[in-house]
Amino acid sequence: MKTNYMPKSISFADGFLGAEFLGGDQLKKIPMFYDEQKAKNIINDILKLNEIIKVEVGLDGDWEINHDTLFENNEFKNVDFWSKSNWATPIMIIYFKNKPSECYEIWKEEE
């Protein structure tokens, strides 16, 4: 988990060819699939202790065009984004009312 994390966006060619993200994070180079159940479990656990304003899910490395809102106004929403990648990691950013945002990786190897 990271706080106040800003997702990255790199070109598809750089990601596909194996370029590293800014900051030196090594690309995983395995198929990563968005894990909606993991995301919902984390949200439900956090809701027991904190008020959530909004949750966005998407691909870190392709965030500009591949993210959507999963949770807002105390309800889950259907998401529509490209939810698998060999180079861009599926993540979730949780925005709170009274504390910094939190970012979680939410992926699994197989669909």
91 vs 7: CA distance, rounded Å: 9
Give tens-digit pLDDT for 48-105.
999 999 999 999 988 888 999 999 999 999 999 888 888 889 999 999 988 999 999 9
- pLDDT reported for residue 62: 85
Say which residue, 19 or 22, is predicted with more confidence: 19
Q: What does DSSP assign to residue 23? A: T
- pLDDT reported for residue 4: 82
* Run of H or E including 17: helix 12-17
48 vs 74: CA distance, rounded Å: 12
Measured over all CA atoms, what is the biggest interatomic distance in the chain, rounded to whole angstroms?
42
Would you place residue 15 in the very low, low, confident or very high pLDDT band (cuts 50, 70, 90)? Answer: low
**Predicted TM-score (pTM) of this structure:** 0.81
Handedness of CA 59, 63, 76, 93 (dihedral sign): positive
Q: How far is CA 7 from CA 44, 48, 74, in A?
A: 23, 26, 24
